[in-house]
């Protein structure tokens, strides 16, 4: 079947699936994929349309059309972009892109330098934000639970970004803190009685300290997120629910890697992962 025929019949689900089957093998034969194929697949897998986000999900800076190698990074930092250049990547896939609603829209200073490098090397930059926090397998929250050996009870709250679950083995707060340090390579900030037994936990990756009250309402023993503000110290002490701040970067390191690996597997292309020692 010609590709153009596929395109014309896109609205018919069965034919669309046939097209996919035909092209599935071709991806692997040619060791490259078209930008739009990768983006369409990510949009569908992550159900981008279901989220109200404060940054664009998908392509943020357009580069070359054919992708043989992707690089992943938590943030589209200059260091990550330079890594993508060094590695000869055709696409940089990130969790934190560049165009946040709260930021000025002008392209100056550090933002100019980042965009200039991407354009010079024709590297696509695509970002997936809240959809990549919430995805039940590839998402930051799901990956976090897997790394820490927690069993998910439910996703809930604002755009399903909050999670509750159980530890497979009950740990005291100090044991849990040590486990988190070993897994993430970063000492968490922990507020609460260190001898308290932790059986049920709530979590949300990144800067989700504002959801602490919602977690307290779920009667969990502890809440884990990436950041802490002044108020959570008092709330933890006064409610008895432990608060764990394990790092915004550290808690969001694994979602984009999982997505990058899934893209590489699906399209038979190369993937490389960038990490930097961001203590925040
Ligand atoms: Zn984040």
Mean pLDDT for the stretch of residues 22-29: 61
Nearest to 223 by CA among 215, 235, 231: 215
What's the angle, vertex CA 73, arms to CA 69 and CA 74, rounded to 5? Answer: 155
Q: Which residues, listed in sequence order, are joined to residue 125 by a DSSP beta bridge?
A: 61, 92
Q: How far apart are CA 217 and CA 222, in angstroms?
A: 11
CA 227 / ligand 1 centre spacing (Å): 10
The predicted structure's pLDDT at residue 5: 43
Going from the Cα of 138 to the center of ligand 1, the distance in angstroms, rounded, reads 15
Would the pLDDT of 58 be above 80? yes
Ligand 1 centre to CA of 121 (Å) is 26
- Label residue 6 by pLDDT band (50, 70, 90): very low
30/68 Cα distance (integer angstroms): 9
| Burial degree of 159 (CB within 10 A; 0-12, 13-18, 19+) | middle
| CATH topology classification for 134-252 | 3.40.1390
For 114-154, how does the pLDDT look when each residue is reduced to its tens digit (9 = 90+)?
999 999 999 999 999 999 999 999 999 999 999 999 999 99
Range(s) of the chain covered by CATH 3.40.1390.30:
33-128+253-273, 134-252
Q: 238: annotated binding-site residue?
A: no
C-alpha torsion 172→219→243→101, nearest 10:
150
- Is 273 annotated to bind a ligand? Reply is no
Q: Is 248 among the annotated ligand-binding positions?
A: yes
Q: Is residue 90 part of an annotated ligand binding site?
A: no
Measured in Å, residue 132 CA sits from the centre of ligand 1 at 10
Task: Work out the number of other CB atoms within 10 angstroms of the CB of residue 36.
Answer: 11
- pTM for the full predicted model: 0.88
Q: Is 162 left (phi over 0), alpha (psi -120 to 50) or beta?
A: beta
Distances in whole angstroms, Cα of residue 87 to Cα of each of 83, 124, 217: 6, 14, 47
The CATH code of the domain at 33-128+253-273 is 3.40.1390.30
Give the model's confidence band at 30: pLDDT under 50 very low, under 70 low, under 90 confident, else very high: confident
């Amino acid at each position: 079947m010609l590709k153009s025929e596929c395109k014309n019949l896109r609205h018919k689900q069965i034919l669309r699936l046939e097209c996919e089957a035909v092209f599935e093998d071709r991806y692997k034969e040619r060791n490259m994929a078209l930008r739009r194929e990768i983006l369409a697949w990510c949009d569908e897998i992550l159900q981008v349309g279901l989220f109200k986000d404060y940054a664009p999900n998908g392509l943020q800076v357009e580069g070359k059309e054919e992708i043989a190698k992707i690089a992943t990074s938590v943030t589209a930092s200059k260091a990550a972009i330079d890594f993508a250049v060094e590695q000869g990547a055709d696409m940089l896939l990130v969790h934190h892109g560049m165009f946040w609603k709260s930021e000025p829209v002008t392209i100056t200073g550090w933002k100019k330098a980042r965009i200039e490098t991407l354009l010079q090397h024709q590297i696509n930059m695509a970002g997936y934000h809240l959809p990549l926090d919430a995805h039940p397998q590839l998402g930051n929250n799901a990956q976090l639970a897997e790394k820490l050996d927690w069993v998910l009870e439910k996703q809930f709250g604002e755009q399903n970004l909050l999670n509750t679950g159980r530890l497979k083995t009950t740990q005291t707060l100090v044991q849990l803190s040590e486990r988190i340090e070993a897994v993430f390579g970063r000492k968490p900030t922990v507020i609460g009685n260190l001898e308290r037994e932790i059986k049920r936990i709530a979590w949300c990756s990144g800067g989700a300290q504002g959801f602490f009250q919602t977690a307290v309402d779920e009667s969990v023993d502890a809440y884990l997120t990436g950041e802490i503000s002044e108020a959570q110290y008092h709330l933890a002490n006064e409610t008895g629910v432990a608060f764990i701040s394990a790092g915004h970067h550290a808690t969001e390191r694994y979602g984009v890697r999982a997505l990058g690996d899934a893209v590489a597997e699906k399209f038979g292309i190369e993937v490389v992962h960038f990490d930097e020692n961001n203590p925040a």
